[in-house]
Amino acid sequence: MNALIIGYGSIGQRHARLLAGLGCSVSVVSSRPLRGMCAYPTIAEAMYSDSWDYVVIANRTHQHHTALKTIRQRGYNGDVLVEKPLFDRLRELPGCSLERVYTAYNLRFHPILQRLRELLQGQRVLSAQVYTGQYLPGWRQQDYRGVYSARRHEGGGVLLDLSHELDYLLWLFGPWHHLVATGGQYSSLAIDSDDIYVLLARMAHCPIVNLQLNYVDRQRQRQIIVNTDEHTYTADLIADTLKTDGETEQYCLDPDITYLEQHKALLGGQRELLCSVGEANASLYMIERAQHSVRIGGWVSNEKVMHDLRAGRVEGHSS
């Protein structure tokens, strides 16, 4: 199977290594000269030079839309995995361009989150608290000022960069109804993107969701606490633990497992857990409404969901 990786930063390198390990013949699109790899300087040249069975778009967020548009215009109609988020903002493409396109929200493949989702089935959820923080200067093996995360116009900022949390909240608790947010660039980091965001939301299957995302936590934390009528669950994705009412279940997980399982599911035609374009756009819409909430300083609604609620097509929660 011929796989093409567009972009060869840290995440592109990871995709290339994992796909090679799965037996794929891997080539990349990169503006940098690369030793020991089949590399093309542009997407157009890669499309002209070979045929592909699988394409991963892993360049900077603001380049995703152009990359996807280009490969479709050049005749590639196969499977595409776009690194999260799908785009830097809600954008339009012809429907045919979005067929067989998925977004790499690989935390759906995390064994702890999968177990948590299983445990929540049939329970009445009362509240959820999510906290994710990572210190941007220590995140990647390069000067943080040169990465896209630091630059608003390249799709940086915690809401887009850490949008895994938005996706898995929607995956766990269904669509949101109302939210209020505060956030911006508060630290002394040399960036122009947002480094802290806090959201409070009402969701279809969880009436109170509190979420904080930031670039300033030097301890690196990723946790979700869920209270139901029956239990309290604490999932720690850094410590690889899941607590139920204080009783700890320890997991021993390879850092690559979620990425690997995501590729195996797509290549094996098992698409149920993959994030569709519609679901990826739901996260982008949530981001845009959160940003609007900051601008107006108040609550905002999910206009599509509220329309469906009035029509009786979506289960609701009392406020």
pLDDT in tens, 72-102: 999 999 999 999 999 999 998 888 889 999 9
How high is the pLDDT of residue 318?
36
How high is the pLDDT of residue 34?
86
The average pLDDT across 8-37 equals 93
Quickly state the pLDDT bin for 317 (edges 50, 70, 90): very low
Mean pLDDT of the chain: 93
Quickly state the pLDDT bin for 315 (edges 50, 70, 90): low
Q: What is the percent of the chain with per-residue pLDDT over 70, rounded to a whole number?
A: 96
State whether residue 57 is helix, strand or coil: strand
The average pLDDT across 177-206 equals 96
Asked if 228 and 205 touch (Cβ cutoff 8 Å), the reply is: no
DSSP 62: G
How high is the pLDDT of residue 308?
63
CA-to-CA separations, 258 to 15, 20, 78, 311, in angstroms, rounded: 11, 16, 22, 38
How high is the pLDDT of residue 148?
83
Length of the chain: 319
